[in-house]
Each structure stands twice: as structure tokens, then as C-alpha cells.
């Protein structure tokens, strides 16, 4: 486990992870897709440890998208129970590590009540923690988030001229969440799949072929090293070369 080559003074504040490739990981082993999700738990916990090693302030993981309801009913059911199980099994250790657990996404009728209860318990238990904020994007869609923000503005009677970028940001699911500096997607897919669309405007993207169940903190460190070699211009001009 090495942080060699990482400039501790320039670690990203916020890293997002699109945890993809569970199904293929299982298929490669002749296992049902759900076994891949189960194996992803260890990867998630190791990524959290890596985030703590690095001193990240925010880590956001994509656990279930608004499009994932399209999957076979038994896989969806498994994922609901699995996420409920993770929260029950892991909340105490995450709490001891100083992790604040939060959620972004729609809490609609399709999310089982029991899971919503576990989410609220994890939120309440860890609310005062300050070491790392772990945000779980669950029943999350970037387009849905923007729609919900605009709806809230309209419902509040906001005049059209007052609807600007700041107003929309204030109505995102977590207005306190800074935009991700870096997003890592596993499994060799080069797409965003509706993750944090508004917030990703100027994020650095790193793609890796590693399937999520094989992801370990070392891969997170590799992504941070790549991030530190990038030149973020935000539409401006190149920073002064050393
Ligand atoms: C990511 O793995 C987990 C979720 C989307 C819930 P997948 O289940 O998408 O795995 P692949 O992409 O089919 O291999
Ligand atoms: C993105 O993965 C969603 C999550 C990781 C939760 P998907 O597997 O759903 O994305 P696509 O279908 O490959 O774009
Ligand atoms: Mg996938």
C-alpha cells in the first residue's frame, strides 16, 4: 500500500466513483450477477479506507441509478436488500472511522421502507462525523436531480429571471456537496451513465478496466496520481509550466 508519488498538499477534495462491472466479474467466474454485487462490498470498504488514507473530505459512490430499475426484478430486489444489509453491517465501523454517511437520489415509493429506515439511521448515527463524508447515490439520476431542483424553484414561485446557476445549485440534493474534482469509473466503460451531471461540469475523469469487485485503494491512489498530472483550466489558459 503506497502513497508514493502523491502530493499530499494537492489531493482532490471530492472523488466520485462509478462502481461498475459487478455483473461481468461474476459472469467471468460462472456465478450469478448478484455474487458480483456481494463481492463489491469489500471493494467499497477498501475504497473508503483509501479515501481516509489520502485525507479526502468527500467520497461519493454510485450505488443504484434511476435507470437500474429496468433490471430483472430479482436483481433489483437483491440490490435493495444488499444495500440495506451493507448499511446494517457496516454503519458502526464507518461511524468509528469518523465517516459521515449521506445519500443523494430520489426517495420514491419504489425504494423499500425498510431501506429508507436504514438510510435514516445511518444518517442520524453519523451526522456529527467530520473525517470523511461518504455520499451514497441511490436511486440517483443526474437528470432527475436537475428536474427536481427546477421543480422546487418553480414550486417556490421563483421568477424566471432569478433562476440562475446559483439558484439551481442551492436546490440540488446536497447543496453543501462540493463538485467532484475527480471521478473514477471502473469496468472499461467510457461513459457517465447519468452520474452527477450538474456537478461534473469540470471534473477530471479517470477510467480503468478493473472491475469494481477487484477495486482496491491502490487503484484509487493510481487515479489520484493521474489526477495530479492533469492541468485543470476551467476554460481559462494553461497554468504556468514549471
Ligand atoms: C454495477 O455493476 C452495479 C450496479 C449498477 C448496481 P453492474 O451490475 O452494472 O455490472 P456490469 O456492468 O453488468 O458488469
Ligand atoms: C452505472 O452503471 C450505475 C451504477 C454504477 C450504479 P450501469 O451499469 O447502470 O451503467 P450502464 O448501463 O453501463 O451505462
Ligand atoms: Mg454496469
Q: What is the mean pLDDT of residues 159-182?
A: 98
Report pLDDT digits (tens) over 10-27: 999 999 999 999 999 999
CB 130 within 8 A of CB 56: no
Query: In percent, how much of the chain has pLDDT > 70?
Result: 98
Give Cα 114 to chain centroid, integer Å: 22
How many angstroms does the Cα of residue 64 sit away from the middle of ligand 1?
A: 9
Q: Which residues line ligand 1 (CB under 6 A)?
A: 19-24, 64, 68, 79, 187, 212
Per-residue pLDDT at 198 exceeds 80:
yes
- Angstrom CA distances, 87 to 41, 109, 146, stand at 11, 20, 27
Ordered by where they begin, the domains of the chain are 11-140+180-228 (3.40.1180.10)
Report pLDDT digits (tens) over 121-163: 999 999 999 999 999 999 999 999 999 999 999 999 999 999 9
User: Which set of grid coordinates corresponds to residue 208?
Assistant: 480503468
Question: Catalytic residue at 68?
Answer: yes
CB 215 within 8 A of CB 179: no
Residue nearest to atom 1 of ligand 2 (CA): 193
What integer pLDDT is reported at residue 238 of this predicted model?
80
Amino acid at each position: 500500500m503506497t502513497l508514493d508519488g502523491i502530493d499530499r498538499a494537492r489531493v482532490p477534495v471530492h472523488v466520485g466513483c462509478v462502481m461498475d462491472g459487478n455483473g461481468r466479474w461474476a459472469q467471468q467466474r460462472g456465478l450469478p450477477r448478484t455474487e458480483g454485487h456481494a463481492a463489491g462490498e469489500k471493494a467499497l470498504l477498501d475504497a473508503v479506507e483509501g479515501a481516509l488514507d489520502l485525507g479526502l473530505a468527500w467520497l461519493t459512490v454510485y450505488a443504484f441509478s434511476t435507470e437500474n430499475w429496468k433490471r430483472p426484478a430479482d436483481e433489483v430486489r437483491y440490490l435493495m436488500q444488499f444495500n440495506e444489509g451493507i448499511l446494517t453491517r457496516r454503519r458502526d465501523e464507518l461511524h468509528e472511522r469518523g465517516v459521515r454517511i449521506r445519500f443523494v437520489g430520489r426517495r420514491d415509493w419504489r425504494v423499500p421502507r425498510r431501506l429508507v429506515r436504514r438510510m435514516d439511521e445511518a444518517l442520524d448515527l453519523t451526522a456529527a462525523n467530520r473525517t470523511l463524508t461518504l455520499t451514497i447515490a441511490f436511486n440517483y439520476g443526474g437528470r432527475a436531480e436537475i428536474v427536481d431542483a427546477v421543480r422546487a424553484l418553480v414550486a417556490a414561485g421563483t421568477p424566471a429571471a432569478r433562476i440562475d446557476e446559483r439558484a439551481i445549485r442551492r436546490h440540488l440534493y446536497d447543496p453543501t456537496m462540493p463538485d467532484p474534482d475527480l471521478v473514477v469509473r471502473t469496468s472499461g466503460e467510457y461513459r457517465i451513465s447519468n452520474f452527477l451531471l450538474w456537478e461534473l461540469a469540470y471534473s477530471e475523469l479517470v477510467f480503468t478496466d478493473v472491475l469494481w469487485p477487484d477495486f482496491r485503494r491502490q487503484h484509487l491512489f493510481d487515479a489520484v496520481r493521474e489526477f495530479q498530472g492533469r492541468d485543470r483550466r476551467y476554460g481559462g489558459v494553461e497554468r504556468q509550466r514549471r
